[in-house]
Amino acid sequence: MNFRLNHNQAHIPEHIVQQAIRWQIKIESGSISEAEQAYFVKWRSADPLHELACARLLHLDKAFSDVAVKSAGYARETLQKTDHEIDNLQRRRLLKSALGTTLSVAGVAFLAEQQGVRHYLSADLSTRNSREEFTVFKNSQLWLNRHSTVEIDEHKSNSITLTQGELFLKTAAIDAPVQLHTAHGVFATQNAEVFVRHEASHAIVQVNKGLLHYSAEAGEKSLSLQAGSTYQLFSNKQFTLNSGVFDYSSWRQNLLTARAMPLADFLHELARYRSGHIRCHPSLNDTLISGVFQLSDTDLILSTVAQSLGAKLNYLTRFWAEILPK
């Protein structure tokens, strides 16, 4: 007898929900291996509830992607409400319709922790799936790339803390320097234009204009970072990168700009702007790519790059693309 699942009414057990969440995070991170991809396909087809959980998570992801989180106030207010009050909120209705189950507090906390949502709860400014521009400290401009969060203290020290993602800051000639904090050091600047990326192990800094003073910790002797230079900064060491290979700040114009950049590195940067996994055959890793690409269509970028190399573009799934030799 064939088993047919009623997708509208089916309840998905909590352990399957969390398994599906782990798989989606793994796939969208771009770090999934071929063996893991094969295992995921096997897991998904092993049980109709596995397939349903994946489908509902995709729906949930789209629902959340349509909501740009502007401040911590709404999030804190929501978290302080009772379950009965939350039932009346749009976000709760989205969760219920997408997962078909009321997630436990532990389940929601797990999802928040894995997807970095905790940074959104304390952020003063943040973005989800688009870049945005803000005015800070009266007349300085701040751009946040996708999936970025910052905390701001304008009253004491003109302080910005980058907790996730990327920013571009154009400071005006103000009385006090702007203090830019990351997990890997503190920067001070006036009348400058700088890009900063937060990574788990380091920060990447590109100084487009002016001078940036960097200290691994507050109070330590500072290092001067010069205009026209790009740096990779760890808590205990610094490296100067070739600033001519990649423009880290061109996303402000919705562009990806590369100059003789190895294909593997280029795809790593492109992966920041699409869900899933992209890679090239190892024999193509060091093939050099140059060009200015519109980020509005990442599939077009992949096909253009493959064509320019005389290679072929292959899609294993909608979230798994690879460039292979012909």
In whole numbers, what is the pLDDT of the chain averaged over residues? 78
Residue 30 sits in the same domain as residue 117? yes
Domain end, chosen from 67, 97, 122, is at 122
Span 255-267, pLDDT tens digits: 999 999 999 999 9
The answer to whether residue 314 scores a pLDDT higher than 60 is yes
Domain end, chosen from 199, 216, 243, is at 243
Residue 135 sits in the same domain as residue 73? no
Residue 134 sits in the same domain as residue 118? no
pTM summary value:
0.65
> Which pLDDT score is estimated for 90?
43
> Which pLDDT score is estimated for 31?
67
Question: Does some domain include residue 1?
Answer: no
Domain end, chosen from 218, 243, 268, is at 243
Composition of the chain by helix, strand, coil, percent to 5: 35, 30, 35
What average pLDDT score do residues 102-123 get? Answer: 52
User: How many distinct structural domains can be found in the chain?
Assistant: 3
Residue 50 sits in the same domain as residue 152? no
The answer to whether residue 285 scores a pLDDT higher than 80 is yes
For residue 57, the enclosing domain spans 14-122
Strand spans (E) along the chain: 125-126, 132-136, 140-144, 149-153, 159-164, 166-170, 178-182, 185-189, 193-198, 203-209, 211-215, 223-226, 229-233, 238-241, 246-247, 255-262, 277-280, 288-294, 311-317, 320-325
The answer to whether residue 175 scores a pLDDT higher than 70 is no
Question: Does some domain include residue 6?
Answer: no
The answer to whether residue 219 scores a pLDDT higher than 90 is no
Question: Does some domain include residue 5?
Answer: no
Residue 136 sits in the same domain as residue 216? yes
